[in-house]
């Protein structure tokens, strides 16, 4: 079964913190050894010059044969809520603004496919509209958004939710938050880290039961060994391993294939189509 991982930071000794193409090429070769042949590489928040150097490294490695094919970049930040930073470094987070966005991605607009931001922040809704007008997808994540704030983010153009339930306001029966919106809105896409570590098995099954099958995207959020030592900053299981385990657990092959292959491609196809 083929997989396309839209949220992968690294694996083994390599990750997107690298600032040279050789390291990114080695990362892609390592991913291919784990039967992951198509990826959008995710980049952590960092000072803008550093994030730009990382994007340059990825851009230089795109098209190189022999490893996983790179289909672009997923910027996981820096327009995020410090209250839901997870293991990310909040001192690198920025106020959502067009000026900050331009300083970050100018010259790399063609490779940026997804930006994750927190819709409840001041200026975020206007930035969502601006990013979508550029043909870049917007995920909501690392967020303390209420259900209503998430709903407004979607109305303004957000298309997905980054690793549902993780680094978000906890679901409450009177305050369902971003996760509750993701589960009940039939149109928004949701990333799911189905490794059994980030989400309880019952929670994984809840997402699979609640969402239309066309709106579920399996991701690994896989990181390098050096990032793992910092704690629950991401996964260590490549996406192909996750899908193989879901098959062993009895999930139908056609569904797993949709979640890990067809739906990610369908989602990427929305990029470059301004809302």
The residues annotated with a catalytic role in the active site are 221
Using the Cα atoms of residue 89, residue 76, residue 41 and residue 63 in order, give the sign of their dihedral: negative
User: How many CB atoms neighbour CB 69 within 10 A?
Assistant: 15
Is residue 159 within 8 Å of 267, Cβ to Cβ? yes
């Amino acid at each position: 079964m083929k997989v396309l991982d839209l949220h992968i930071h690294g694996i083994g000794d390599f990750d997107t913190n690298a600032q040279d193409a050789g390291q990114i090429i080695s990362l892609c070769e390592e991913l291919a050894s784990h039967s992951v042949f198509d990826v959008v590489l995710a980049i952590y928040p960092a000072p803008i010059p550093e994030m730009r150097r990382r994007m340059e490294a990825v851009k230089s490695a795109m098209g190189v044969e022999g490893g996983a094919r790179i289909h672009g970049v997923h910027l996981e930040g820096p327009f995020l809520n410090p209250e839901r930073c997870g293991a990310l470094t909040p001192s690198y987070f920025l106020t959502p603004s067009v000026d900050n966005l331009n300083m970050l991605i100018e010259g790399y607009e063609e490779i940026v496919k997804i930006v994750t931001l927190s819709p409840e922040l001041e200026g975020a809704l206007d930035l969502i509209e601006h990013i979508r007008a550029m043909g870049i997808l917007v995920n909501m994540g690392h967020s303390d958004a209420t259900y209503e704030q998430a709903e407004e983010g979607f109305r303004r153009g957000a298309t997905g939710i980054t690793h549902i339930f993780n680094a978000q306001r906890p679901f409450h029966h009177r305050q369902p938050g971003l996760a509750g919106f993701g589960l009940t809105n039939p149109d928004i896409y949701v990333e799911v880290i189905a490794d059994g570590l980030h989400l309880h098995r019952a929670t994984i099954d809840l997402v699979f039961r609640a969402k239309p099958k066309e709106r579920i995207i399996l991701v690994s959020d896989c990181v390098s060994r050096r990032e793992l030592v910092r704690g629950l900053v991401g996964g260590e299981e490549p996406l192909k391993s996750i899908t193989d385990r879901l098959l062993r657990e009895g999930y139908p092959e056609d569904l797993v294939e949709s979640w890990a292959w067809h739906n990610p491609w369908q989602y990427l196809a929305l990029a470059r189509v301004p809302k």
